[in-house]
Amino acid sequence: MMRIGVLASGRGSNFQAILDGIREKQIDGEVVALVVDSPEAGAIARAQAAGIPYFVVERKDFAGKAEMDGRIVEILEGKRADLVVLAGYMRIVGKELLGKFEGRMINIHPSLLPSFPGLDAQKQAFGHGAKVSGCTVHFVDGGTDTGPIIEQVPVYIGDCRDAHEVAERILPYEHKAMRTVVGNFSKGKYVVEGRRVRYEGGL
């Protein structure tokens, strides 16, 4: 059974999507740890409700980013995580953390990369006047939202009146993509050739 570590910073609806996928047997795995970078993260209540160990790792408690990432590595390795999912985690992953999990660390981003990387992707898309945006699940590499793309879902946003409506419209598709990709990881493998990713079902 695949052991999943989740990093989150906010309300945790993508984390919840993984929990729902596990409950509905779409994902053959278990979340062995939730790591949040703030005690205010709504994701904590979701972990508590599901009886999942959670760890609050706050930047202010560490001398530097490297030490903070070192603590996260300690937690994830201690729980023997096979896959690490950034589910609305708003920090850049440092080389200590990436070095340990590159190739088995994924992120969900609320735009069709390479368009609109970085923060406030939904606001960027709305402000640009894009008619179609969406979400991307990708491997995490040393850049910002630059890793090989695993899955993308297009979403029409041409009639949205503001960036909030764009975010609300894309979010359910993020959850669906998250469940599909994590489920695939639990039942097969993704092969990366250069920038291209293909799925090989069945372990």
147 in Cβ contact with 117 (< 8 Å) = no
Cβ 105 to ligand GRF shortest distance, Å: 14
Residue whose CB is nearest to ligand GRF in the complex, by number: 88
Cβ 118 to ligand GRF shortest distance, Å: 10
Comparison of 37 and 174: residue with beta carbon closer to ligand GRF: 174
Q: Catalytic: 109?
A: yes
Single out the residue of 3, 5, 108 nearest to residue 54, CA to CA: 5
Structure tokens at 19: 């929990």
Count CB-CB contacts under 10 A for residue 154: 12
Per this entry, what is the length of the chain?
A: 203
Comparison of 73 and 178: residue with beta carbon closer to ligand GRF: 178
Residues that bind ligand GRF (CB under 6 A): 8, 10-14, 87-88, 108-110, 171, 174
Comparison of 13 and 133: residue with beta carbon closer to ligand GRF: 13
Cβ 112 to ligand GRF shortest distance, Å: 12
Comparison of 14 and 186: residue with beta carbon closer to ligand GRF: 14
Cα–Cα distance for residue pair 153/168, rounded to 1 Å: 15
Residue 191 C-beta-side C-alpha neighbours within 13 Å: 7
Q: Give me the DSSP letters along 115-129.
A: SS-SS-HHHHHHHHT
Cβ 11 to ligand GRF shortest distance, Å: 4
Q: Which residues are catalytic?
A: 109
